[in-house]
Structure 1
Amino acid sequence: MKIVKLSKIRNLTLDFASWNIMNLLPQWTAALQSNSKTLTLFMANELNETAFGAALAQLLGLLSLHVIGCAKVDHIAIFNLLSHTHS
């Protein structure tokens, strides 16, 4: 599968993203790392801590993060991942 080039996107919102989109999230965020400022994940039921942690590690310039209704990643996991990836 060829990754869509998203290098100039500053704000990314994924609504009801499927498991295959969530698995690509770390690869997308690697391409977005220098420009991305906002990430919103809404009702991404297949989002897991592994993919989310890998994605966050790429987004060092992130200013805004919204994770809403993602059943497999709760607020404790989010805070834990943020504390290990962002200073």
Structure 2
Amino acid sequence: MARAHRNAACVAGLGYALARRLPRSALTVAFELPTNRRIDRPLIEGAALFGIGWSLSSLCPGPAVAALSTGALPVAVFVAAMLVGMTAHQRFVARD
């Protein structure tokens, strides 16, 4: 594993461990950590789709929104596709 990947994994792990120990969030009244530990088909499909999109575009969704300020066409296409996917999911898949 490359050094940057190890560093990112360490930071994420420490952040998660710290979040579980804090009594409350700075922005909300309480933490809302997931209680469902079941790995089901929608989770696997969503994770695979996220990974495929990330690897094909080399863009993570959060930084891609920030990268819109560069005016690069590939970033704009990625963010537009991401928004279309989010809208389609909300309209056709979400069950809440």
* TM-score for both structures, normalised by structure 2: 0.23
Structure possessing the higher relative contact order (Cα contacts under 8 Å, 6 or more residues apart): 1
Q: Which has the higher strand share?
A: 1
Structure number with greater Rg is 2
